[in-house]
Structure 1
Amino acid sequence: MRKLLALMPVIPYPPHQGTNIRNYNLLRHLADEYTIHLLTFYEGPKPSIPGPLREICEIVEAVPNPSHSMPKRLLRLISSPLPDVIYRKSSPLLLERLRELLAQNRYDLVHVEGIEMAQYGLWIASHRTGRKPALVFGDQNAEYLLQKRAFETDIRQLRYWPAAIYSLIQWQKLARYEAAICRKFDRVIAVSEADGEALKKLVPELEVCIVPNGIDVDFYSDFTPRNPPLADWSPWALVFTGKMDFRPNVDAALWFAQEILPKVREKFPQACFYVVGRNPHPRLRAIMDREGVVVTGYVEDIRPFIAFASVFVVPIRMGGGTRLKLLEAMAMKKAVVSTTLGAEGYPFRHGLHLLLADEPETFAEAVCRLLENEKERVRLGEEAFKLVDERYRWEKIVKALKETYEELLAR
């Protein structure tokens, strides 16, 4: 079997949030054709390697996540031409282990997933002989676009101007850095056509392979809950899931709770907004004590929360890539209301698979419309499920990645 070295930002298990869901399933479906070595980071005490990863990877090497103080980050913000995200995973220890693995093994391919790990692919590109091993970069977001949109959102409110200034600086740095990455790797993977086009704006001649996010449809569709996940569960539950220290999710939760939920509760006083996901950011304290808002923090399984949702909401106003949370909700046949940006990168149609709304008034109206009409909720859920089941199973999606690998190896 051919040999693949995968560089990933965190141990991709358990597959409970976007990055881990994607990375674990890519590895799982590549393991039947490739011998996989995984080099990654861990946070906190050194963990034992999860059994499911040991089953699909011949070698799993994990080093501690580097720590960087806020003063150092602020200094680099001013002095360094490189974006802040690079330093989050800048580790001499991982580089040393990478050099050892490259010396001990003849890899056919090196797949680098995530912009924070791209620095190690650039190191390989500058030290390899010829074009072996082939280098593949998986860009889970067009990162410069994420920061551009964050700037455009935060600049609207005076209290968020410090964050807006940060994003303005990072946007410029990321555009230069992302362009350099795209030129050095042999192939670039994007999760959507929209992200692919955004990268081509940086490097017009770039060839981009689209490997969408996928989902284990059966894991969600076969789930049968017995009871609501929390006591006093609302009869009009509005659920939003995600990693709650991720800036686009934080902004989405605040915007919905502060601007949209009050309008919904005028018609449905018992409506409750459930913010479900680990590591709630301190900014979310502003909504934790609001009537009709529940911030859960980490939960072992998000499926009960989705299953008992009346409407699943995706009030995303910044970011890039695609949102796995949409696929999760649709695999459970849930009616979804999303911003246009929240559904970007997917072929979902307004009125057929979900409802789209970009202003607080229209978003609230869409939510109320669905709360009033159970038949429409069911219809949207059924249509969305058909599309997800047809297009977004991992076994279909990884086929495109394997074809890209084969093309590179045949050169």
Structure 2
Amino acid sequence: MLGNAAAGDPASKMVTARDSKPDLLYLSPVVPSLTGNGLAMRAGAVLEGLAECYSVSLLVVTLYPPFVPCVPEVFETLCRRTAVVARPRQSWLSFLAPSRWMGPLAAWRRLPVDVIHVFRLAMAPYARPFRERHSGVLSHLDLDDIESTTHRRISSLCEANRDHILARFEEAQAKANQEAEREAFAGFGRIYVCSEADRAELQANTRAELCVLPNAVRSPAAAPGAGSGSGSRLLFVGTLGYYPNDDGARYLCDEIVPRVRTQWPGDFQVEIAGPGASSRLLDAADRAGVHVAGWVPDLEPCYRAADVVVVPVRAGGGTRIKVLEAFSYRRPVVTTAAGIEGIDARHEEHVLIAGGPEEFAGHCVRLMGDRALRERLARNAWDLLARRYSIEVLKRTIASSLPPALRRESRSGARPPFAR
């Protein structure tokens, strides 16, 4: 058991006087973060938005990295109380016996709750004891992406790469997640997705209210400069232990970088930043002369040094938060169609979108040699980010979707009749 406060005593980290905001219990499988992997970044961005409208109690069961022992102070100060709980050791299915891990959290089940907000499908079983205790309150599920679809896409990519064992595993994961989705969709009153495409895909599968809550990123405090100025530094950022990112990085090294070398007359540098590089990727990078930086605690220097950000991923789900992060640093992006999925960006206006490796390399070379084009794409992408994918937009989206009964409570301080 880990946490900022004693998990069995939520009052040890709480505001002494109740404010007039409705109470929301936020259940997350990852500790929120300002940077790092996209999952933790979405957890943090949504928490920031929810805290504008709700008095938030944050409980993290660490199913995904980063496996850190407490909530960062920047997010802790947004919450009424916080706790971080290590993933139950018995098994992935230990949620079937909640007493094994819920015992120390008994006091959390007695907290006043108006809304239970569950982040990611994997947290739905862990939310069951809270939903049973507060059976009359609103339950919201933030899917982030449709995991059955994502695993099926990854399975197809594995097959194309002749990773047949992984393909079978991903297909099994797709089927398991499809069953979990079917159960979850029947139990939650509202489901958040991160794009209109995901909402359209789910409309036939659930009666729940479907709300689009786009990914969002915070812009750096200081405006970035112009990179190296030479146009010759390319950057790819991603968690490399995730198969689509590993595949994209190897695709970059094996198929794209050699083509850039044949088209670009001078020297250039390619950097891959992110944890979990496989031996296959390291070998491919060595052959291509690509630098693999590994885990970087602060990505800002990487973005500031880069002239072009590349997103060569060929499968995945949801939206790529790292594309938005590149937009926030005013860096032009070359991407595949899969890399920009779910983001309302247009080819030649906000990004350059490539089909095969030859076209991808050509787009890189074009940007490397055209500073005006780099600046135009970066400026347009920054404007798009401010209009559609900023933290401020996310806050307004959450505020506008506040249930009517809770809007009345926020104004009057009265408890809605269904809250316990």
TM above 0.5, one fold? yes
* Alignment partner, residue 143 of structure 1: 147
Does residue 38 of the first structure (1) align with residue 38 of the second (2)? no
* Alignment partner, residue 242 of structure 2: 246
1:326 to partner: Cα distance: 1.1
Q: Given that residues 223 and 303 in structure 1 are in contact (C-alpha distance below 8 angstroms), is that contact kept between their aligned partners in structure 2?
A: no
1:108 maps to which of 114, 126, 133: 114
Q: Given that residues 65 and 89 in structure 1 are in contact (C-alpha distance below 8 angstroms), is that contact kept between their aligned partners in structure 2?
A: no
1:50 to partner: Cα distance: 3.1
Change (3 A) 1:237 1:218: closer
Change (3 A) 1:162 1:365: same
Q: Secondary structure at the match of 1:290?
A: helix
* Alignment partner, residue 341 of structure 1: 338
Change (3 A) 1:327 1:116: same
Q: Given that residues 254 and 287 in structure 1 are in contact (C-alpha distance below 8 angstroms), is that contact kept between their aligned partners in structure 2?
A: yes
Q: Which aligned pairs between 1:214-293 and structure 2 lie closer than 5 A? A: 214-219=216-221, 222-223=223-224, 236-268=232-264, 270-293=267-290
* Alignment partner, residue 131 of structure 1: 136
How far apart, CA to CA, are the structure 1 residues paired with 2:368 and 2:66? 43
Q: Which aligned pairs between 1:57-72 and structure 2 lie closer than 5 A? A: 57-67=79-89
Q: Given that residues 153 and 315 in structure 2 are in contact (C-alpha distance below 8 angstroms), is that contact kept between their aligned partners in structure 1?
A: yes
Deviates more, 1:4-13 or 1:335-344: 4-13
Alignment-mate amino acid for residue 169 of structure 2: Y
1:242 to partner: Cα distance: 1.8
Change (3 A) 1:288 1:144: same
Deviates more, 1:39-48 or 1:162-171: 39-48
Q: Given that residues 26 and 119 in structure 2 are in contact (C-alpha distance below 8 angstroms), is that contact kept between their aligned partners in structure 1?
A: yes
Does residue 171 of the first structure (1) align with residue 167 of the second (2)? no
How far apart, CA to CA, are the structure 1 residues paired with 2:107 and 2:281? 43
1:155 to partner: Cα distance: 0.9
Alignment-mate amino acid for residue 131 of structure 1: G
Runs of 4+ in 1 over 6 A off after TM superposition: 43-46, 88-91
* Alignment partner, residue 15 of structure 2: none
Q: Given that residues 334 and 364 in structure 2 are in contact (C-alpha distance below 8 angstroms), is that contact kept between their aligned partners in structure 1?
A: yes
Change (3 A) 1:89 1:385: farther
Q: Which has the higher contact order (CA 8 A, sep 6+)?
A: 2
1:208 maps to which of 196, 210, 214: 210
Alignment-mate amino acid for residue 326 of structure 2: A
How far apart, CA to CA, are the structure 2 residues paired with 1:146 and 1:48? 30
Change (3 A) 1:299 1:195: same
How far apart, CA to CA, are the structure 2 residues paired with 1:306 and 1:16? 13
Deviates more, 1:144-153 or 1:19-28: 19-28
How far apart, CA to CA, are the structure 2 residues paired with 1:369 and 1:341? 21
Change (3 A) 1:249 1:67: farther
Identity of aligned residues (%): 29
Q: Given that residues 109 and 133 in structure 2 are in contact (C-alpha distance below 8 angstroms), is that contact kept between their aligned partners in structure 1?
A: no
Change (3 A) 1:307 1:119: same
* Alignment partner, residue 398 of structure 2: 401
> CA deviation digits over 1:205-237, x for unaligned, max 9?
443100001111243x62459x97xxxx99621
1:296 to partner: Cα distance: 0.7
How far apart, CA to CA, are the structure 2 residues paired with 1:358 and 1:281? 25
Does residue 313 of the first structure (1) align with residue 316 of the second (2)? no
Q: Given that residues 66 and 91 in structure 1 are in contact (C-alpha distance below 8 angstroms), is that contact kept between their aligned partners in structure 2?
A: no
How far apart, CA to CA, are the structure 2 residues paired with 1:314 and 1:368? 15
How far apart, CA to CA, are the structure 1 residues paired with 2:31 and 2:37? 12
How far apart, CA to CA, are the structure 2 residues paired with 1:169 and 1:407? 41
* Alignment partner, residue 25 of structure 1: 45
Q: Root-mean-square deviation (CA), in Å? A: 2.8
* Alignment partner, residue 159 of structure 2: 155
* Alignment partner, residue 24 of structure 2: 4
Change (3 A) 1:123 1:89: closer
How far apart, CA to CA, are the structure 1 residues paired with 2:405 and 2:148? 27
* Alignment partner, residue 123 of structure 2: 117
Deviates more, 1:356-365 or 1:183-192: 356-365
Q: Which aligned pairs between 1:373-384 and structure 2 lie closer than 5 A? A: 373-384=370-381
Q: Given that residues 257 and 273 in structure 1 are in contact (C-alpha distance below 8 angstroms), is that contact kept between their aligned partners in structure 2?
A: no
Does residue 183 of the first structure (1) align with residue 189 of the second (2)? no
How far apart, CA to CA, are the structure 1 residues paired with 2:94 and 2:167? 20
* Alignment partner, residue 359 of structure 2: 362
Q: Secondary structure at the match of 1:279?
A: coil
Deviates more, 1:273-282 or 1:240-249: 273-282
